[in-house]
Structure 1
Amino acid sequence: MSGSEDLERLQTEFDRLERENEKLRISNRRWIRIAGTDDLTGLPNKVFLSTALLPQIISSANSEGQG
């Protein structure tokens, strides 16, 4: 194999991995959304509250308490 063939093969693999990574990002966002919402109501659930909302509330309260 020549250097240009190696480079082309590496570029092809890189492109494939970029596409796969994007698919995984989309899938992860979907699963995070599913895990954080109630199936019946579609409203945020306690998983969302404890992992996303609560840390923000605590951080905000700590910041306000220090000022």
Structure 2
Amino acid sequence: MAPAKSIQPAATKRNKYIASLLALTVGIFGIHQFYLGNKKVGKEFLFTCIFIIPIILAFFRVLGYYS
């Protein structure tokens, strides 16, 4: 019986240096996760970015009103 071939995900064929560069530049949007083929994690990054950043900005704006 021949050994079974292992199926590797597409993420292993991607350049890790490009993924690192994407993470450093636009990582908050999850672009590096989409590049690596992790669509679910990329969507989580994007969703978090869309809703968390405005909350943080509003928090600092409120602090500015009281100073």
| TM-score > 0.5, shorter chain as reference | no
Q: TM-score, normalised by structure 1?
A: 0.40
Pick 1 or 2: higher relative contact order, CA cutoff 8 A, min separation 6: 2
Higher relative helix content? 1
TM-score, normalised with respect to structure 2: 0.40
User: Rg: which structure is higher?
Assistant: 1
